[in-house]
Amino acid sequence: MLTNQDYASQPDDLLVKSAQKGDMVAFEELVARHRDKIYARAYTMMRNEEEALDLSQEAWVKAWQRLVQFQGDSSFATWMTRIVINLCLDQIRKNKRQRTESIEHLDEELGGVERQMPVINPNPTEGLERGELRQRIDEALDKLSHEHRTVLVMHEFEDLEYKEIAKRMKCSIGTVMSRLFYARRKMAALLAGLKREREQ
Amino acid sequence: MNHEQQLQLQAYLDGELSDRESRKVTDLLASNEEARNLFSELQFTRTALVENEPEFKLPESREFFWSKIQREIRQTEAAPVPTAAGVSVFAWLQRYLMPVSVVAVLAVIGIFAMSKSQPTQTAYAFGEIEALNGDMDSITFRSEAERMTVIYLYDNKPEVGAEVTSDSSI
């Protein structure tokens, strides 16, 4: 019989094998180990604490139900992150059906705005402390639409290719490229704006 | 620089281009300052994001969060779940048998409708017999084994006569 200390010292793959046989204590250890990362991914996408909590909880329940399907092709953390991303995408789609799109948002979707933005030079992130840069990135992410933030999260944080993002977002590769381009340009402008605000 | 070139520049940064397309972009970067500035902006934005993902901590204790997950798991496990075999049989029925039954029902309706609107050969033959002179009556006998129909015509008066027809004439 393993003690709690034993579980804490086990690597993920062994805990997964135990959990696949129905060991809930092993699964609890996996939850404790990765819960912040899964919550952070949900929060980055949804920008709402309550929704992020619900979705990360739902992701863990789904993971338990589908654990036998996990073959170890990727790390357990990556597999879990994919589950929570899919749940967030479903939720974003549901929310989108309920809200009216603003004219500004439609303009972003059509992809004309980013061509008129001046190129940011020099790099506004240069010389910043890591903590401050993270805070600025977080503030800038908050100002993006769900679609642009999602494409940025999947490309920059999850390192997914255009094709994979298009599949998950149920859109064309061209749309992914346009959204990513807009999101990056908007981020650069927001980071430069935040820098100017702090300097004043 | 047009929008397509801008997107190609980005795809080059992300390693999404073929060798041939990459060469086109390097040529553009070598000859166009606007392209170089835009590339630099895209590059520092990507680096800043990749290396500085914001971190968030789950705002609930380990025990409380786990208790919610555990409760949810127990609730879903207590609910009856269709077996994998049951699901697959139902899916098979839905996929293959339901369209076949729809076609079968339509075929039966079609045959029924046709039989109502078009008289069969036999019915047509009887129709001809019925159109005979009103003073005459008939008795018909059909032998499938002989492929022959015998129509016995007679007057209402006690005179008798017989006429024999084969299938080819009906």
Q: State how far the Cα of B79 lies from the Cα of A196, in Å rounded to an integer.
A: 57
Q: Which two tokens stand for residue B156?
A: 């209402």
Residue in A closest to B58 by C-alpha: A36
Query: Using CB atoms and an 8 Å cut-off, which of residues 104-133 of chain A contact chain B?
Result: 111, 115, 119-121, 123, 125-126, 130, 133
Complex ipTM value = 0.84
Cβ separation of A133 and B66 shorter than 8 Å? Answer: no
Q: Which residue among A134, A141, A156 places its CB closest to the CB of B46?
A: A156
Say what the pLDDT of residue B94 is: 67
Q: What is the helix, strand, coil percentage profile of chain B, to 5?
A: 65, 15, 25
Kindly list the domain boundaries of chain B, sorted by start residue: 3-51, 121-169
pLDDT in tens, B10-20: 999 999 999 99
Identify the segments of chain A with pLDDT beneath 70.
1-2, 5, 99-115
User: Chain A residues with CB inside 8 Å of B7's CB?
Assistant: 177-178, 181
Min Cα–Cα distance to chain A from B96, Å? 27
Under an 8 A CB cutoff, do B40 and A121 touch? yes
pLDDT in tens, chain B (170 residues): 899 999 999 999 999 999 999 999 999 999 999 999 999 999 999 999 999 999 999 999 999 999 999 999 999 888 765 554 545 565 666 666 777 777 888 888 888 777 766 555 544 444 444 445 556 667 777 777 777 777 767 666 544 444 444 443 33
- The pLDDT score that the predictor gives to residue B162 is 44
Domains of chain A are 1-99 (1.10.1740.10), 101-200 (1.10.10.10)
Q: Which residues are A115's β-sheet partners?
A: none
Instruction: Assess B14–A contact: CB distance below 8 Å, yes or no.
Output: yes
Task: Establish whether the linkage from the previous residue to A118 is cis, with ω within 30° of 0.
Answer: no
Three-class SS string for chain A?
CCCHHHHHHCCHHHHHHHHHCCCHHHHHHHHHHHHHHHHHHHHHHHCCHHHHHHHHHHHHHHHHHCHHHCCCCCCHHHHHHHHHHHHHHHHHHHHHHHCCCCHHHHHHHHCCHHHHCCCCCCCCCCCCCHHHHHHHHHHHHHCCCHHHHHHHHHHHHCCCCHHHHHHHHCCCHHHHHHHHHHHHHHHHHHHHHHHHHHHC
A51 contacts on B by Cβ (under 8 Å)? none
